[in-house]
Amino acid sequence: MFAEILSGAMISGSLIIAIGAQNLFVLKQGLLKNHIFFVSAICFICDFILMTIGVLGIGTFISNNPIITNILAILGALFLIWYGIGAFKSAIQGTSSLQVDSQDPQNKRLINVVLSTLAVTLLNPHVYLDTVVIVGGIAGTLTSQQKLAFLIGAICVSFIWFFGIGYGARLLTPLFKQKRMWVILDGLVGIVMFYIAYRLVAFVLWGS
Q: Where are the domains of the chain?
A: 2-206
Whole-number Å distance between alpha carbons of 142 and 11: 14
| For residue 103, pLDDT beyond 50 | no
User: 194, 81 in Cβ contact below 8 A?
Assistant: yes
pLDDT of residue 93: 81
**CA distance to 57, 150, 192, per residue, from 144 (Å):** 10, 10, 36
Q: Is the pTM of this model over 0.75?
A: no
Whole-number Å distance between alpha carbons of 1 and 122: 31
Q: What is the pLDDT of residues 58-81, one digit of tens each?
A: 766 766 777 877 787 787 678 778
User: 21, 83 in Cβ contact below 8 A?
Assistant: yes
User: 155, 48 in Cβ contact below 8 A?
Assistant: yes
Q: What pLDDT band is residue 46 in, cutting at 50, 70 and 90?
A: very high
Rounded to an integer, the average pLDDT of 150-161 is 93
Please, which residues have CB within 8 angstroms of residue 17's CB and are 6 or more apart in sequence?
23, 161
| For residue 96, pLDDT beyond 60 | no
| For residue 3, pLDDT beyond 70 | yes
| For residue 47, pLDDT beyond 80 | yes
For residue 28, give the amino acid letter: K
Please, which residues have CB within 8 angstroms of residue 4's CB and are 6 or more apart in sequence?
142, 146, 147, 149, 150, 153
Rounded to an integer, the average pLDDT of 88-100 is 67
Q: What pLDDT band is residue 52 in, cutting at 50, 70 and 90?
A: very high
- From the list 9, 203, 42, 32, the residue with the least C-alpha distance to 120 is 42
- From the list 162, 174, 149, 207, the residue with the least C-alpha distance to 23 is 162
Give the range among 7-11, 30-34, 47-51, 196-200 with minimum mean pLDDT. 196-200
Whole-number Å distance between alpha carbons of 92 and 85: 11
pLDDT of residue 18: 58
